Amino acid sequence: MTSSRFSNFAFGVLAWGVALLIFFPILWLLLTAFKTEQQAFSVDPTFWFTPTLESFRTALAQGNGYWHYAWNSALTAVASTLVGLALAVPAAYAMAFYPNKRTDFLLVWMVSTKFIPAVGVLIPMFLVYKTVGLLDHPLGLTLLFTAMNLPIIIWMVYSYFRDIPKDIVEAADIDGASILQTLFKVVLPLALPGLASTGLLALILAWNESFWSITMSDHRAATLAVYIASFKSAEGLFWAKMSAASVLAIAPIIVLGWFTQRQMVRGLTFGAVK
Amino acid sequence: MKATTATASATTAAEAPGARSFARTTRLLMAPAVIFLLIWMLIPLLMTIYYSFQQYNLMMPMYDGFAGFGNYAILLSDPVFWDSLGNTLIIVVASLAITVSLGMLLALLFNRTFMGRGIARTLAVAPFFVMPVVTGLIWKNMLLHPVFGLFAWIARQFGLEPIVWLDQYPMVSVIITITWEWTPFALLVLLTGLQSLPEDQLEAARLDGASALQEFRHIVIPHLGQVLYVVVMLESIFFLTSFAEIYTTTSGGPGTATTNLPYYIFQTVFQQSDIGIASAAAIGAVILANIFAIMLIRFIAGNLNAGAAR
């Protein structure tokens, strides 16, 4: 008994140690964000210091562009999520409640588009976008994020719809409700929590996206990912500012992420792990 | 073929009145998503195939036309392409080995009960939610930097010469960055799998006097087999397409030491403007991803039918 209690304690200490070690780089980024540039850029790292908001003030100052990038990130993430849900809900609804012989094939086909590597479609996307003026345009990025997340959104919405008992929908059909009435009056209210967590997951994935934003935007549509990536050649300069900008970019997502861990697993593994 | 579909739809129509109008409505409901995916994924993919057979450089618009397998031939004789292919595979294999084994150990650790488990687990999975661009910069600038990085300071405390990580061990640096980001994903998924372990089976095994190792070998592993399979396949596809971690840290260098396939394509398009060759390389990337994707999709489709049967 005592030995098992001791081993439990030892494993607890070990787990905490590992957790702190894994978390440390984020903590270090957070600490650096509250330093002055001199403290951030020193050969001997400063562990004890008086925290200052100076770097946050510099990062957020007008003319430094933070708000421009943050606005683009928010706009493209929210818009792509909404467009994604608007496309996914009707499709998932049809597949979940009115399946036919082709449903399984279509669903699997939609999911499989997630596994086309982005570089596989990069070149035509770039050329077409350039021709039609969507290059470096928020709408262009929005639609790319939608395409990137749509398979996951469809899958998740479909799986939440499947959790709704079919009898309820059949009852509504028999009562003479049209397919769309059934969707809006019966199915959507029941699936609202599921839709919310699907939306949250899509939002996180779009916000963190970097490949499309780096390749398809320059300044006008550039997101926070592009802005922060521009610090990659800053040799020691502006590290505190970079840290402050990074903290502002990742903090909301980490907090949202903690709340959506389970949905994340469910969505990213396409229901193989629940 | 046409006849069978006709009879089939006739029987469904006979069975359920109004099925035909249902079919039309459901087709309308499906159409927007299907058309969107066709335009944004499938048609571009076909265009990439088309471009891969064209001589097409944005800088040299006068030399265009059908190239046959010319682009593929140039690609296969380009040592940088082979380097990038090798680097891609090294990144996939090394990152998989590390994230899956570490993730498994951590999942077993975090599956035990201890004080503050929820908070500790939450801290441990946090890196997965960090923007990959930020991940790259944290490691490049603040930890691995040979002068101002924390690792250099630690080395100096022990009187050692700081390692110039990105120059001396560029591939190791990239793999460290990727594994820090993705071990939490493996942990998260495997832990979710562990928590759905059949408790009664474990109980029975313990009553039968099974050792912890036997329990792990005969109950945990078979149950987790599926979960492991999914983690391995998904991570393979994500690792094949790693980009931000390389873009922000080594930029593919020094030389071609960390240029993977996506980065090679990125450079061929945006620095050499060679659409034809970049497209041929992109088709290579798609084929590589498909090897894993086909297995994964089969698994997902299998699960789908199992779900339908239930």
Which among B23, B303, B308 has CB closest to A272? B303
pLDDT in tens, B115-158: 888 899 999 999 999 999 999 999 998 899 888 888 988 898 89
pLDDT at A259: 82
Which among A26, A87, A162 has CB closest to B32? A87
How would residue B306 be classed by pLDDT, with cut points 50, 70 and 90?
Answer: low
Q: Which amino acid is at B222?
A: P
Tell me the angle at which helices A261-268 and A239-259 cross, rounded to the nearest 10 degrees.
Answer: 80
Mean pLDDT of A182-206: 90
Mean pLDDT of B58-87: 87
pLDDT at B297: 84
- C-alpha pair distances (Å), B113 with each of A7, A193, B22, B99, B129: 11, 29, 52, 23, 24
How would residue B309 be classed by pLDDT, with cut points 50, 70 and 90?
Answer: very low
- C-alpha pair distances (Å), A49 with each of A31, A35, A239, B265: 9, 7, 16, 45
Residue B55 has pLDDT above 80, yes or no: yes
- C-alpha pair distances (Å), B133 with each of A35, A205, A213, B122, B136: 21, 13, 11, 21, 5
User: Distance, in angstroms, between B146 CA and closest chain A CA?
Assistant: 10
CA distance A211 to B242: 9
Q: Which residues of A touch B296 (CB under 8 A)?
A: 115
Q: What is the DSSP letter of B148?
A: T
Q: How many CA atoms lie within 13 A of A77 on its CB side?
A: 24
The SS3 of residue A62 is coil
Q: Which residues of B touch A253 (CB under 8 A)?
A: 129-131
CA distance B177 to B86: 19
Percent of chain B with pLDDT over 70: 91
Residue B16 has pLDDT above 80, yes or no: no
Residue A85's CB: how many other CB atoms inside 10 A?
Answer: 20
How would residue A42 be classed by pLDDT, with cut points 50, 70 and 90?
Answer: confident
Which among B44, B132, B192 has CB closest to A262? B192
* Those residues with Cβ within 8 angstroms of residue B121's Cβ, 6 or more apart along the chain or in another chain: A19, B110, B191
Mean pLDDT of A68-78: 95
Mean pLDDT of B44-52: 94
pLDDT at B284: 93
Q: Test A207 with B48 for CB contact under 8 angstroms.
A: no
User: Distance, in angstroms, between A267 CA and closest chain B CA?
Assistant: 11
CA distance A115 to B191: 24
Q: Which residues of B touch A9 (CB under 8 A)?
A: 114
Residue-range domain boundaries for chain B: 70-309
For residue B65, give the H/E element and its range.
strand B65-66
pLDDT in tens, A128-179: 999 999 999 999 999 999 999 999 999 989 989 988 888 888 888 888 888 8
Residue B2 has pLDDT above 60, yes or no: no
How would residue B268 be classed by pLDDT, with cut points 50, 70 and 90?
Answer: very high
User: Distance, in angstroms, between A40 CA and closest chain B CA?
Assistant: 9
E strand spans, B120-239 = none
Q: Which of A260-264, B43-47, B97-101, B171-175 has the lowest mean pLDDT?
A: A260-264
Mean pLDDT of B221-226: 80
Q: Which residues of A touch B23 (CB under 8 A)?
A: 98, 100
Closest CA to B25 of A95, A50, A154: A95
Among the residues of B196-274, which ranges form H helices? 199-207, 212-215, 221-240, 244-248, 261-270
Residue B292 has pLDDT above 50, yes or no: yes
pLDDT at B287: 92
Percent of chain B with pLDDT over 90: 45
Question: A99-117: buried (b, 16+ CB within 10 Å) or exposed (e) per residue?
Answer: ebeebeebbbbbbbbbbbb
Q: Test B117 with A257 for CB contact under 8 angstroms.
A: no
Residue B7 has pLDDT above 70, yes or no: no
Q: Test B153 with A43 for CB contact under 8 angstroms.
A: yes
Q: Test A19 with B121 for CB contact under 8 angstroms.
A: yes
pLDDT at B14: 41
Mean pLDDT of A6-11: 82
CA distance A120 to B50: 12
Residue B100 has pLDDT above 50, yes or no: yes
- Whether the ω angle into residue B132 lies within 30 degrees of 0, i.e. cis, is no
pLDDT in tens, A199-249: 998 999 999 999 999 999 988 999 999 999 988 876 657 888 889 999 999
* Those residues with Cβ within 8 angstroms of residue B69's Cβ, 6 or more apart along the chain or in another chain: B53
pLDDT at B310: 36
Q: Which residues of A touch B132 (CB under 8 A)?
A: 208, 210, 225
Mean pLDDT of A5-34: 90
Q: Would you say A231 and A242 are in contact if contact means Cβ atoms under 8 Å apart? A: yes
CA distance B118 to B129: 17
Residue B206's CB: how many other CB atoms inside 10 A?
Answer: 12
Q: Which residues of A touch B91 (CB under 8 A)?
A: none
Burial class (CB within 10 angstroms; exposed 0-12, middle 13-18, buried 19+) of B113: exposed
Number of residues that make up chain B: 310
How would residue A3 be classed by pLDDT, with cut points 50, 70 and 90?
Answer: low
Percent of chain A with pLDDT over 70: 96
User: Distance, in angstroms, between B66 CA and closest chain A CA?
Assistant: 17
User: Distance, in angstroms, between A62 CA and closest chain B CA?
Assistant: 22
Q: Which positions 137-176 of B are in contact with A (Cβ < 8 Å)?
A: 137-143, 145, 147-148, 150, 153
How would residue A36 be classed by pLDDT, with cut points 50, 70 and 90?
Answer: confident
CA distance A189 to B189: 29
- C-alpha pair distances (Å), A19 with each of A162, A258, B116, B125, B162: 36, 14, 11, 8, 26
Give the sign of the dihedral formed by CA A48, CA A49, CA A51, CA A55: negative
Q: Test B36 with A242 for CB contact under 8 angstroms.
A: no
CA distance A234 to A230: 8
Q: Which residues of A touch B29 (CB under 8 A)?
A: 90-91, 93-94, 179
pLDDT in tens, B147-190: 888 898 889 889 888 888 888 999 999 999 999 999 999 999 99
User: Distance, in angstroms, between B300 CA and closest chain A CA?
Assistant: 7
Q: Test A116 with B45 for CB contact under 8 angstroms.
A: yes
Q: Test B192 with A273 for CB contact under 8 angstroms.
A: yes
State the complex-level ipTM. Answer: 0.89
Q: Which residues of A touch B271 (CB under 8 A)?
A: none
Mean of the per-residue pLDDT values of chain A:
88
Q: Report the predicted TM-score, pTM, of the whole model to 2 decimal places.
A: 0.88
Q: Would you say B263 and B84 are in contact if contact means Cβ atoms under 8 Å apart? A: yes
- Tokens 């939450």 found at: B122
Closest CA to B142 of A224, A41, A23: A41
Q: Which amino acid is at B144?
A: L
Q: Test B289 with A115 for CB contact under 8 angstroms.
A: yes
- The domain covering B70-309 belongs, at the CATH homologous superfamily level, to MetI-like (1.10.3720.10)
Q: Which positions 53-112 of B are in contact with A (Cβ < 8 Å)?
A: 106, 109-110, 112
Q: Would you say B99 and B186 are in contact if contact means Cβ atoms under 8 Å apart? A: yes
For residue A160, give the H/E element and its range.
helix A138-162
- Tokens 């980009």 found at: B243
Domains of chain A: 2-57 (no CATH), 66-233 (1.10.3720.10)
* Those residues with Cβ within 8 angstroms of residue B261's Cβ, 6 or more apart along the chain or in another chain: A119, B84, B85, B87, B88, B240, B281, B284, B285, B288
Question: Is B188 part of the contact surface with chain A (CB cutoff 8 Å)?
Answer: yes
Among A115, A178, A228, A239, the strongest candidate for a mutation testing the B interface, having the largest count of B CBs within 10 A, is A115
Q: Would you say A205 and A148 are in contact if contact means Cβ atoms under 8 Å apart? A: yes
Closest CA to B300 of B206, B247, B229: B229
Q: Test A120 with B192 for CB contact under 8 angstroms.
A: no
- Tokens 């039609």 found at: A132
Q: Which two tokens stand for residue B199?
A: 């408790």
Closest CA to B224 of B252, B186, B171: B186
- Give the angle B59-B62-B64 at the CA atoms, nearest 5°: 90
Number of residues that make up chain A: 274
Q: What is the DSSP letter of B162?
A: P
Q: Which two tokens stand for residue B278?
A: 């970049």
Q: Which positions 231-250 of B are in contact with A (Cβ < 8 Å)?
A: 231, 234, 237, 240-241, 243-244, 247-249
pLDDT at A268: 80
User: Distance, in angstroms, between A265 CA and closest chain B CA?
Assistant: 6
Q: Test A29 with B138 for CB contact under 8 angstroms.
A: yes
How would residue B114 be classed by pLDDT, with cut points 50, 70 and 90?
Answer: confident
Q: Which amino acid is at A162?
A: R
Of residues A209 and B26, more confidently modeled: A209
Residue A20 has pLDDT above 80, yes or no: yes
CA distance A194 to A120: 32
Mean pLDDT of B276-285: 93
Q: Which residues of A touch B27 (CB under 8 A)?
A: 94
Q: Test B292 with A115 for CB contact under 8 angstroms.
A: yes
How would residue B305 be classed by pLDDT, with cut points 50, 70 and 90?
Answer: low
Q: Test B30 with A128 for CB contact under 8 angstroms.
A: no
